[in-house]
């Protein structure tokens, strides 16, 4: 019997196959588009696209051009600031996910909340919820990393453990899991853009997850696999141009 806390979810109908197919598709696209030839500029572009999508999902009206230039409204600035620091937390996620969640919030909300509120749960129940999620991150090693990322995202977004910026933090934590667990080590996917492209389903399935019912959690898991595939499609990674063979 598996000791992975998410094993029950991976065993629900369609989940394992959906995530296997999505991971295969991601691996193929990363390989075919020249993963080894990428540079930091491509990662930076993917992070900027993600920051824009996350900000829009949070209510921002900033354009991608404004984001790319470091401008835009306050929400956009918060998301961009967080995207610039998220990858530095990769090693820490493997050791102290609870501290990582706190740090993500502290960075995102640094200009919006007083210092004493940064990174701190709203109440005892929120602290307990975050602690439980951190334990899931540390002990979940047998289910697909994509599935773990989906649960981390939904749990933070729906529990809203911090006084502000929970959506932005949730999506940053999701991306961080994908990087730390080796799905997307160079952060070339844009999962946030996948959620934005499927916004109606995204918001509906988050509401379902928030009910805590098996049906709602199951539906979110299936939705997230689709969103990750879309996020890979929206990557700024350019296909490798292969030389044309002369016929003759």
204: phi then psi, degrees, rounded to nearest 5: -65, -45
Q: What gap in Å lies between CA 16 and CA 18, rounded to an integer?
A: 6
Q: Is the pLDDT of residue 159 over 90?
A: yes
Residue 177 has pLDDT above 90, yes or no: yes
Any residues with CB less than 8 A from the CB of 118 and at least 6 apart, and which? Answer: 105, 106, 109, 110
Mean pLDDT of 136-143: 96
Strand, helix or coil at 214?
helix
In this predicted structure, what is the pLDDT of residue 70? Answer: 78
Average pLDDT over residues 156-178: 98
Task: Give me the count of residues in the chain.
Answer: 248
pLDDT at residue 37, rounded to an integer: 61
Per DSSP, the residues of 32-52 read: HTTGGG--HHHHHHHHHHHHH
What pLDDT does 248 receive?
A: 41
Query: pLDDT by residue (tens digit) across 185-240?
Result: 999 999 999 999 999 999 999 999 999 999 999 999 999 999 999 999 999 986 55
- Write out the two tokens for 54: 């996350």
pLDDT above 70 (res 59)? yes
| Whether pLDDT at 247 is above 50 | no
Q: Can you give the pLDDT at residue 213?
A: 98
The predicted-structure confidence for 2-52, as pLDDT tens digits, reads as follows 789 999 999 999 999 999 999 999 999 888 765 556 788 999 999 999 999
Q: How many whole angstroms from its chain centre is CA 136? A: 16
Query: What's the pTM?
Result: 0.93
Q: Report how far apart, in Å, the C-alpha atoms of 113 and of each of 78, 120, 126, 163 are.
A: 12, 11, 18, 8
Tokens of 103: 């740090």
Domain ranges of the chain: 7-233
Residue 221 and residue 150 in contact, taking contact as beta carbons nearer than 8 Å: yes
Q: Which of 68-77, 125-134, 192-201, 227-236 has the lowest mean pLDDT?
A: 68-77
Tell me the fold of 7-233: Fic-like fold (1.10.3290)
Distance CA 101, CA 146 (A): 18
Dihedral over alpha carbons 45, 222, 210, 139 (to 10 degrees): -80
Mean pLDDT across the chain:
93
Looking at residue 39, its pLDDT comes to 81
């Amino acid at each position: 019997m598996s000791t992975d806390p998410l094993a029950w979810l991976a065993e629900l109908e369609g989940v394992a196959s959906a995530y296997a197919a999505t991971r295969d598709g991601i691996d193929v696209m990363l390989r075919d588009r020249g993963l080894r030839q990428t540079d930091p500029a491509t990662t930076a572009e993917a992070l900027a696209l993600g920051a824009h999508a996350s900000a829009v999902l949070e209510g921002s009206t900033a354009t991608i051009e404004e984001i790319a230039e470091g401008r835009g409204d306050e929400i956009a600035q918060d998301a961009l600031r967080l995207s610039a620091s998220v990858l530095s937390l990769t090693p820490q996620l493997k050791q102290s996910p609870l501290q990582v969640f706190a740090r993500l919030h502290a960075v995102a909300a640094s200009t919006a909340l007083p210092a004493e509120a940064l990174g701190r749960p709203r109440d005892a129940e929120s602290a307990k919820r975050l602690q439980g999620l951190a334990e899931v991150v540390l002990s979940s090693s047998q289910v697909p990393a994509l599935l773990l990322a989906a649960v981390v995202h939904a749990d933070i977004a729906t529990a809203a453990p911090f006084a502000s910026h929970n959506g932005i933090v949730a999506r940053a934590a999701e991306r961080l899991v994908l990087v730390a667990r080796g799905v997307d080590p160079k952060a070339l996917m844009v999962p946030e853009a996948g959620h934005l492209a499927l916004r109606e389903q995204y918001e509906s399935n988050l509401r379902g997850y928030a009910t805590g019912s098996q049906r709602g959690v199951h539906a979110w898991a299936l939705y997230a696999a689709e969103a990750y595939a879309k996020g890979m499609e929206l990557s700024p990674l350019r296909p490798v141009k292969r030389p044309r063979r002369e016929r003759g």
